[in-house]
Amino acid sequence: MKTFEMDRYHMGRLAPGGDLLEAIESLLAERGIRAGYLWALGAVRRGAVGFFDQKTQEYRTISLDEPMEILACQGNISVKDGRPFPHVHITFGDSRGKAVGGHLVAGNEIFVAEVCIAEFSGHPLERVEIPDLGLQLWRTD
């Protein structure tokens, strides 16, 4: 288990119309954030979530072609292939009060999004391929 200290805290609103995941990735790259934790609230004009099928070891995308509220959005930031990588889960609520969630994937058009990022100092965790699981997870050695 590695130990980190909170270095800086970033808070702000993302521009409407963009893709939520791409906007987060751009923010991390622009600010050089390589380790941390993030939260977000807001709404999307249309959404999508990813589900990892453990049998096939592949992600599939579930399209949500309607306006949705972001009920919860949280994740960690580490390094994958030398670049900052946000691993984020998101829960949406629809106009009937039903919730759906999964991995944050491309395809979420921002209506409004407020994001908070706690940046950690120290050597960032790196994601490596774990062949038997079909995933890239934190290196433990």
**Percentages helix, strand, coil for the chain, rounded to the nearest 5?**
10, 60, 30
Residue 130 placed within a domain: no
* Confidence category of residue 16, pLDDT binned at 50, 70, 90: very high
Residue 30 placed within a domain: yes
Q: Identify the CATH number of the domain in which residue 106 sits.
A: 3.30.1330.80
Residue 139 placed within a domain: no
Mean pLDDT, rounded, of the chain: 95
pLDDT surpasses 90 at 2: no
Place of tokens 């600010």: 31
Domain count for the chain: 1
Note the pLDDT of residue 122: 85
Residue 128 placed within a domain: no
Averaged pLDDT, 96-107 = 97
pTM, two decimals, is 0.92
pLDDT surpasses 80 at 141: no
